[in-house]
Amino acid sequence: MRAAEIELLLPEVLRRTVVPGSPMSALIAVMESMHAPSEAALRGFPSVLDPLTTPDRFVGMLATWVDLARLDETPAGRIDTARMRLLVSLASELSDRRGTPGGLMWLLTLATGVTGLQLESTGPFAARIVVPHASAAQADLVREIAVQEKPAHLVVEVVVEAPSATTPAASRVTAPAGGTTT
């Protein structure tokens, strides 16, 4: 607040005492300087709430607000900060599509950065997510996220694609995500 604005908040009897060089004028100048840091912080506050501009240390807090921090707390590893920023910024759209096969695949692609994931139906309530061989290192993270995000009625297994086209489509079958081992 500027000194003139502070002065307007004073009762009329005190406003009359604000003249250059008076103790009241000095007191108002001190008030102005003490308000400056707080006002600067408040002016920058909207950028802290924007997941694309917030400092790295606040991304996790914002992810907690939109229930996405759980994706970053898996035994398989963490999601990098840039990907988490993107997930938080798209939280409402992800929420709209949650529980659908398309939503699951979109979230997995955004969270892991793995492109070329394939979702194959293997039965009425079962599906397989095929991770490209080039992204085999991300298979555990895909599995952990799939466990959390798959539709409740669906048993999903995550497999890694075979390294070459001459071998079967899935070379490594792993425990199903959120279901029993078959």
- Convert the pLDDT of each residue in 11-35 to its tens digit: 999 888 899 999 999 999 999 999 9
User: Which run of H or E residues covers position 56?
Assistant: helix 56-65
What percent of the chain clears pLDDT 90, i.e. is strictly above it? 61
Q: What is the pLDDT of residue 91?
A: 95
Q: Pull the structure tokens for residue 47.
A: 């950028």
Task: Using alpha carbons, select from 113, 47, 48 the residue that is nearest to residue 86.
Answer: 113
Decide if pLDDT at 116 tops 80. yes
Helix and strand numbers (H, E) in the chain are 8, 4
Q: CB burial class (10 A; 0-12, 13-18, 19+) of residue 72?
A: buried
71 vs 182 pLDDT, higher one: 71
Task: Using alpha carbons, select from 14, 41, 9 the residue that is nearest to residue 25.
Answer: 14
Report the alpha-carbon distance of residue 26 to residue 39 in Å, rounded.
20
Report the alpha-carbon distance of residue 166 to residue 124 in Å, rounded.
29
Is 78 strand, coil or helix?
Answer: coil
